[in-house]
Structure 1
Amino acid sequence: MKNSAVTFKEVESCIVQVTMQDRVHKNTFSKELVQGLIEAFQMIKANSTYKVVILTGYDNYFCSGGTQEGLLAIHEGRGKFTDVNVYALALECEIPVIAAMQGHGIGGGFVMGLFADFVILGRESVYTTNFMKFGFTPGMGATYIVPKKMGFSLGEEMLLSAGNYRGAELEKRGVPFKILPRKDVLSSALQLARQVAEKPRVSLITLKNHMVESIREQLSKVVSQEVAMHEKTFHEPEVKERIVKLFRK
């Protein structure tokens, strides 16, 4: 796989690690990162021996969400977040995916991680669904998956307030994920991957398919509703001002 933004390696027999490492763009959804993720999951789909995927980032970053160019394109009506479905790659993957979110998960980057079957967070890292900070309503399935995975009250709070939450704070709030020191997240994910990989592949695929069937069914409906909300909220002049101002920071 020839993509410097995303690396793909077989860690052990049946276990694949996909690492996002677009250091130039700090793991925002650059063209290179998006293309690398799509290629990686195509390679996983094409291999009938893999049993589990670890999706992770580099250093302090897991995934940082939309680029300024991408958000401005949506604001100007030149695109939609549905043009490329990168956010649900883990959900659509037939084998289990572990999101080893060792670093910051921001906006759509955090949402993408929540679509994995297992989630591990870093205690020191920041997690946020910051869509409303820019003045537009959430997309990428966030309005469904965030309350579903985080719990409704906390999920609604995260979406409406667009606040920043350290992993340590989310741990105190009782989120149902492992939250570990950043340096321990990847090793914990590998330990979990080994445990999962002990099972027959056909059984893993069959059970995952059963467990996430309702999420897959609901998602297309929710995404349509989010696109409709974007038509109301994304094209306001204030949104452009906020995008430019926040990226300048």
Structure 2
Amino acid sequence: MMGESILFEIDRGVAKVTLNEPEHLNSLSRTITEGLEKALDRIDQDTNIRSVILTGSGKGFCVGGNIKEFPTEMNALQIKDWMKSASNLALKLNRIEKPVIAAVNGFSMGAGFSLALAADFIIASENASFGMVFNKIGAVPDMGAHYYLPRIVGLQLAKYLMFTAKKITAQQAKELGIVLNVVPESELNTRALEIAHQMSESALSALGLSKSILNRSFTMSLEQILYEEGMAQGLAFSTDEHKEGVQAFVEKRKPDFIGK
């Protein structure tokens, strides 16, 4: 446990992080932001953790920033600095060398939508909904929304979702490629765990290297990607996971990467 605002548990190498201020629909309060940052730091450093599930308690995954905590007396430069804590979460999720699954259980609005997009996969319950609703309060999408959304749905649709602040259902989000799976609410945790455990059985060092390249691939040329792949392969081939994988292939058995 990371405090009352963030619940933290580990199940067979899967870290489950739950935003736990359901009375506020898990808006990004100072306590949730600080707790989530601590949880991600622990996940990054703990070699026994091999995959991550990020979810929310109650009816909301996360409805974005806590308006009651918004600065009212700051100038533009001060607000830019104030934004660093939320922006840092997006960076940590992007750089963490373990697969992250957002299990979206309800409302995913504003920065909460951005938070889900920063995960590697989104699994949503049938009652989940999504919205880039920043414009409704005269704000700009943040926490990496301008990076992730156009990469997933294309520039035109990203503009439409941001400019109109349109809310979409879980099924609509799946049709746009935002969501991987839509499941009944009662099956959300089970489905997220299935995927997380599947990922946790992978060669984690190779997976982390691949995630790093993929997250930068839209800004690199083919030549740069080929170079990055060569460097990554050099690192991957030097690991015990690679040796186990080759040995398992030769012996015609399933590789055991855990603990390698």
TM-score interval, smaller chain: 0.7 to 0.9
Whole-Å Cα distance in 1 between the matches of residues 205 and 163 of structure 2? 40
Query: In structure 2, what is the equivalent of residue 31 of structure 1?
Result: 30
Structure 2 residue runs without a partner (length 5+): 221-260
Paired-residue identity, %: 27
Q: Is the aligned partner of 1:153 residue 2:152? A: no
Q: What is the RMSD of the two structures over their aligned residues, measured on CA atoms?
A: 2.3
Distance 1:122 1:153 in 2: 26
Deviations 1:1-57 (A, max 9, x none): 441010111122x21111111124321111110011011011112211221111111
TM-score (structure 2 length as normaliser): 0.75
Question: Residue 121 of structure 1 contacts residue 185 of structure 1 at CA under 8 Å; is this kept in 2?
Answer: yes
CA contact (8 A) 2:132 2:166 kept: yes
Pair 1:196-2:195 in alignment: no
Map 1:1-249 → 2, pairs under 5 A = 1-12=1-12, 14-73=13-72, 77=76, 78-80=78-80, 82-84=83-85, 85-173=88-176, 175=178, 177-214=180-217
- Which structure has more relative contact order (CA 8 Å, sep 6+)? It is 1
Shift of 1:124: 1.5
Which stretch of the first structure deviates more once superposed, 98-107 or 20-29?
20-29
Show structure 1 runs of 5+ residues with no match.
218-249
Task: Write out per-residue CA displacement over residues 139-177 of structure 1, whole angstroms, 9 at most, x where no aligned residue.
Answer: 222122112123433322111100111113334556552
Contact kept, 8 Å, 2:107 with 2:129, in 1: the verdict is yes
Q: Indicate if the aligned counterparts of 1:87 and 1:108 stay in contact, CA closer than 8 A.
A: no
- The alpha-carbon distance between structure 1 residues 59 and 24, as it changes in their structure 2 partners (threshold 3 A), is closer
* SS of aligned partner of 2:193: helix
Q: How many residues align?
A: 216
Alignment CA distance shift 1:175-1:8 (3 Å): closer
- Contact map agreement 1:151 1:175 (CA 8 A) in 2: no
